[in-house]
Structure 1
Amino acid sequence: MERLEAARRTLQSALATCAAAAAALDLSGRRLAEISARLPPAAPPLVAQLRAAVAPAAAVLAVFDAVHGLEPHLLSDPRHDTAAYLLLLRRLDRALDFLSRACPPAIEPAAALLQRPDRAALDPADPLDGGLLLPVLRRLASFPAPTPPELGLVLRRLSATARADLAVRTFAEERALSAAARLAAAPRWLDRVALAVSDVLPAERRLCSAAFPAAASLCFAEIVSQSGFLLFLVSPSILPVRDGPDKLLQLLDMFATLDGLRAGFNELFAGPSLDQARTATRGLVRRLVDGACGLFWEIPAQVEMQRSAAPPPGAGAPRQVRAVVGLCNELLGPARRPALDQVVGISRCWRGEEPEPGLVAAAMANVVAALEENLRVWAGSYADPAQKSLFLMNAHWELQKSARGAPLGALLGAGWLDGRRRRSERFRETYVRESWAALRRRTGEFKKGFEEMWRVHVRWAVEDKALRGEVQMAIAKTVLPACGEEEEREALERMIFSLFLGGGEKGLNGFGSKSGRGRMRKLADGGKLHLSAAPVA
């Protein structure tokens, strides 16, 4: 409201100036009449020329001064009081209309009076030298959504002064700053591209079409370039630096984002002035396809390279099993499988090769085969046969568990999953037979042998609670019947329940729930107990 009041005062001052100019014109007319009365008879034509030149020129200067009085307000930030600013702009347009009409009648008599041969150098269509219109255009273009009527007033006058190209550049510069600010608010690359193609850039293109129907494509191309969006597409920094599974997943996500916005890209970047934008987009797609395919085909080799690593000292399931199966599930899942199929197909098309729908599935099978070969090699590094069996039990259990109910399990099938579970069960039986079952044949040294074996096996691990419970119950079924004394059985129960936690001997104290010891006691007394009973911890 303060700015609106200031504008009102400025306009009142302009009206007062015009009134003063009118009074001055009356006074000038009276003085000219007095001069005319004193002049000799031959002078009337000169008086007529003076009168014809002074009166229009004085009126033009009065309005010109009033317009310059609006300049501080027109060069202020319009966002503080948009309505008042646009009101000033409309009144400026009316003042410029007056000047454009009044300048020729004012200039021609004065030129004739002064006999100026260069009167054509005075441009009646450029009353303010364009000095005020371009800053006003910048301020209008900085609006979140410029108002077409007021913007059109400025553009029309700039076009009339042969400044249309400058108007396009000025408008594009301001709109590019606005677009860049909006895009910077999106923290992630995926979000920024989606925001640009679905919201920010379409709005800018519509503004360009409304402001410059004949130069919309050129104006929009300037905005795209100056907003930093093109640099954003071609910059190497947008791609993950470190090769690995995470980079592959990120590249697929980026490709999926671009593919989902393909129609928007095609619509936005259509036109002769947007070749650079189309080239940048195609270049980014190629980098994504080449990068993703390269990493995807390297997965089996990367899995094979892990064979030189040492297996877990506690014979637990290797982290590599969860990592590799997890990666396969990610690649085969609904979020990334479509993008993976596309990049593989596009890459083959670029190389002139025929598409093969089963390539991804075959590659995943090769990855699993390489992982299972790793398990075999790692198992061979254990000197203790019982530890080797425990390791293979853990590994195959984790392999089928991680794949079951997931995309990899669906690909490999129920037969493959059940086969790995049976392998785990066989290795569990082998582990018990090669270690704890041997104690029953040495009854006289049973207690000593049990303690010695326990001190070794207590450092090993079975991470899965269900599997751990089954192994503990299998050990109990094997060794407890050999115990005759109640006190001895209770001690063995506690020791058995402390196995496979990976905590060493310190894990003994406090382990062994009452329910678990009760089940073991029932087993020792000749009762039947299913190995699939609920696990204990």
Structure 2
Amino acid sequence: MDKGIDHLISARKLLKANVEKSKCLGASLEKSGSILGEISCRLPSLEVAVWPIQAERDALSAVGGHINQAVVPAASVLKVFDAIHGLEKSLSDPQYDLLGYLSVLKRLEEALRFLGDNCGMAIQWLGDIVEYLDDHRVADKAFISSLKKALANLRELEAGDEKGRLDGGLLEAALDRLQNEFRRLLVENTVPLPMSSPTLPGEQACIAPSPLPVAVIQKLQAILGRLIANERLEKCISIYIEVRSSNVRASLQALNLDYLEISVSEFNDVASIEGYIAKWGKHLEFAVKHLFEAEYKLCNDVFERMGLDVWKSCFAKIAAQAGMLAFLQFGKTVTESRKDPIKLLKLLDIFASLSKLRSDFNRLFGGAPCAEIQNLTRDLIKRLIGGACEIFWELLVQVELQRRTPPPPDCSIPRVVTFITDYCNKLIGDDYRPILMQVLVIERSWKQEKFQERILYNELLKLVQSIEVNLDTWSKGYKDAVPSYLFQMNNHWHLYKHLKGSRFGGLLGDTWLREHEQYKDYFSTMYLRESWGKLPTLLSREGLILFSGGRATARNLVKQRLKAFNEAFDEMYKKHSNYVIADKELREKTCQAIIQTIVPVYRSYMQNYGPLVEQDASASKYAKYTAQSLEKMFNSLFHPKLAKHGSLKVRHPSGKFNPPSEDPQSVK
């Protein structure tokens, strides 16, 4: 009985265990039912996917390894592609984190290089598996044809322009942002440079420091490194030239350089733009020593890693676009203007400005990139030397030509006399003599001739000697001796006064100067004796005996003699009122000499004999002047006549030495 109970208990436990197993099996079947349902739903699509493959199971098993070899590199390419687009989120704003931006950009470039290098390999592997499928007839022809068409499209894209856009254009966009940052750094740190106040004599001009901070230059160089690696050097140079040349133009525009655009047809001679020529020298020095010097240094700082040719070419384009060519063209325009003696001085001024900047020109504009500026500069210097020498050697001929002109009717100093005396002093002064010597030496060297300083002095002495001959010739052109004396007195005094104490006067010598002073004294005496000196004889006292019975006779004689004096005085005063003595000192001395010759005699005469006619009804007819009125009239003589605008109305002989308005037909 005990055994039976044990069996029952064992059976019970077994049944209980089987029930639990049945429950578990039921749950598993229930779960499997849902999975089978999903599989049942997916089977139609799987059937469609595997439908092209009709090979036997053995063939499909063999192709598996080949498929894995093709899919693995393709999957790697896809992973890199995903990584590239992941880098897009890491690209910060280069303005605020340039180093971080450059770091991410470099990683992007490396990823793209990997992508570009491996795309071809992946396509090749895929091509191999398609070829295997086709050869072993693993799939039907339509499926194989579709795969081949897809591979052909991939190969075409990989070999064409789209190869560089495997990232969807991300790198190009990132480089554009970096390029814009390059422009921004330049623009925001570029400020026009004002022209500094002129330096004191002997003081060296201050060379402008680098126009960009070191930190900015370092950023520009870092940006250039990445842009150059991506073949964008030319774009960077174009941006740099645009910004920097625009800045130099802005600096120059503040100086009002419109005169640089003047053409030959817009002015008659150099004198009309003399002020512009003086400005040109100062502005050119500022442009070269400050603006272009700074740009030269900056180009070197920014592009030094690119090589000498790159940064010098960059600087040459900035200089040309910013206005250097306009400066040289203005100088050329001056050389093309009408020949005029004053033009010689202006050509020497321009030559002096260029000579002063010669070392700067050679350093800044030397080399092949600045060939255009070099050629224009050489041409300008050649024109300056040729033009200046041509005018200088023709001066003597021009002075001699003036001899044919009539003397000035007002007995004043012909312009050629004042011009040559002042001109010669300037030519051998400290300002022009070294420049003229340099020009003449160069001109003679072109002709394989040697030039010595004495040749210059001899030529100037010939000019003065020719002036002396002109004076002698002109003095003989007056019909009357009196204006001839006054003319020679005027001119000999001018030569003496304006050359005494000057360097040119020292060259002529004291003897020459004393001779002209003596000529002045001689002709002054002759002028006074032959004109005003004859009037006192008309106030003769002969026959004037004041006694009873002779008073009427004396009155008549006084009337006759006063009338004759008045008529002679009026005629002479009218004639001499047209004469001019420009020098104030000589004019006052001459007037005083006339007064001392006439007024004391007239005063004494009127004091003694004036009462005889003053009581007469027609007294004003004879006692026409007082001593005081005569003195006042004499002091009003010989003053230069005022022309319009308050200028002195001085006669100028025709010819090369005339002002432009008086000599429109001068030969160029």
Does TM-score exceed 0.5, indicating one fold? Answer: yes
SS at match of 2:452: coil
Aligned residue among 96, 117, 122 for 2:105: 96
Corresponding residue number in structure 2 for 1:472: 591
- How many angstroms does 1:424 deviate by? 0.9
SS at match of 2:453: coil
SS at match of 1:333: coil
Separation in 1, partners of 2:483, 2:632? 21
Which residue identity is paired with 1:221? A
Corresponding residue number in structure 1 for 2:322: 227
Corresponding residue number in structure 2 for 1:153: 222
Which residue identity is paired with 2:292? L
Corresponding residue number in structure 1 for 2:577: 458
SS at match of 2:535: helix
Separation in 2, partners of 1:88, 1:294? 66
- How many angstroms does 1:384 deviate by? 1.9
Residues 239-258 of structure 1 mapped to structure 2, 5 A cutoff: 239=335, 241-258=337-354
- How many angstroms does 1:152 deviate by? 0.9
Corresponding residue number in structure 2 for 1:199: 290
Separation in 2, partners of 1:233, 1:497? 54
Confirm whether residue 348 of structure 1 aligns to residue 444 of structure 2.
Answer: yes
Distance 1:328 1:301, change over 3 A: same
Which residue identity is paired with 2:511? G
Which residue identity is paired with 1:209? N
Separation in 2, partners of 1:134, 1:491? 90
Aligned residue among 109, 121, 128 for 2:172: 128
Which residue identity is paired with 2:221? G
- How many angstroms does 1:346 deviate by? 0.7
- The question of whether the paired residues in 1 share the 8 Å contact of 2:403 and 2:473 is answered with yes
- How many angstroms does 1:120 deviate by? 7.3
Which residue identity is paired with 1:258? L
Percent identity between the two aligned chains: 31
Distance 1:99 1:463, change over 3 A: same
Which residue identity is paired with 1:60? I
Separation in 1, partners of 2:362, 2:219? 31
Aligned residue among 84, 87, 90 for 1:60: 84
Corresponding residue number in structure 1 for 2:659: none
Aligned residue among 386, 409, 423 for 1:290: 386
Which residue identity is paired with 1:293? C
Separation in 2, partners of 1:271, 1:463? 57
Residues 414-453 of structure 1 mapped to structure 2, 5 A cutoff: 414-444=510-540, 445=561, 447-448=565-566, 449-453=568-572
Separation in 1, partners of 2:348, 2:487? 35
Deviation digits for residues 441-494 of structure 1 (CA, Å, limit 9, x no counterpart): 444446233343233223322222221222122223333453322475444333
- How many angstroms does 1:247 deviate by? 1.8
Distance 1:346 1:443, change over 3 A: same
Which residue identity is paired with 1:283? D
- The question of whether the paired residues in 2 share the 8 Å contact of 1:458 and 1:502 is answered with no
Confirm whether residue 497 of structure 1 aligns to residue 635 of structure 2.
Answer: yes
Separation in 2, partners of 1:238, 1:480? 57
Separation in 1, partners of 2:583, 2:573? 20
Deviation digits for residues 271-330 of structure 1 (CA, Å, limit 9, x no counterpart): 343343333222221111111111111222222233344433222233332222222222
- The question of whether the paired residues in 1 share the 8 Å contact of 2:335 and 2:387 is answered with no
Distance 1:455 1:269, change over 3 A: closer
- The question of whether the paired residues in 1 share the 8 Å contact of 2:407 and 2:475 is answered with yes
Distance 1:45 1:481, change over 3 A: closer
Confirm whether residue 277 of structure 1 aligns to residue 373 of structure 2.
Answer: yes
Separation in 1, partners of 2:326, 2:592? 64
Range 494-503 or range 366-375, more displaced: 494-503
Aligned residue among 407, 427, 430 for 1:331: 427
Confirm whether residue 367 of structure 1 aligns to residue 458 of structure 2.
Answer: no
- The question of whether the paired residues in 1 share the 8 Å contact of 2:348 and 2:436 is answered with yes
Distance 1:348 1:66, change over 3 A: same
Distance 1:302 1:151, change over 3 A: same
SS at match of 2:402: helix
Corresponding residue number in structure 2 for 1:164: 233
Deviation digits for residues 387-424 of structure 1 (CA, Å, limit 9, x no counterpart): 11011111111222222333332332333222212211
Deviation digits for residues 253-281 of structure 1 (CA, Å, limit 9, x no counterpart): 11111111111112123334334333322
Corresponding residue number in structure 1 for 2:495: 399
Provide TM-score, normalisation by structure 2. 0.60
- The question of whether the paired residues in 1 share the 8 Å contact of 2:348 and 2:432 is answered with yes
Larger Rg: 2
Which residue identity is paired with 1:342? Q
Which residue identity is paired with 1:469? E
Provide TM-score, normalisation by structure 1. 0.73
Which residue identity is paired with 1:233? L
Separation in 2, partners of 1:269, 1:455? 67
Which residue identity is paired with 2:105? L
Structure 2 unmatched runs, 5+ = 1-41, 51-60, 127-153, 191-210, 258-278, 541-560, 611-625, 643-668
SS at match of 2:346: helix
Corresponding residue number in structure 2 for 1:218: 313
Residues matched between the structures, number: 453
Separation in 1, partners of 2:628, 2:238? 89
- How many angstroms does 1:66 deviate by? 6.7
Separation in 1, partners of 2:326, 2:458? 38
Corresponding residue number in structure 1 for 2:198: none
- How many angstroms does 1:226 deviate by? 3.2
Confirm whether residue 300 of structure 1 aligns to residue 300 of structure 2.
Answer: no
Range 239-248 or range 152-161, more displaced: 239-248
Distance 1:503 1:325, change over 3 A: closer
- How many angstroms does 1:225 deviate by? 3.2
Separation in 2, partners of 1:489, 1:454? 15
Which residue identity is paired with 1:241? S
Separation in 2, partners of 1:270, 1:495? 70
Corresponding residue number in structure 2 for 1:208: 299
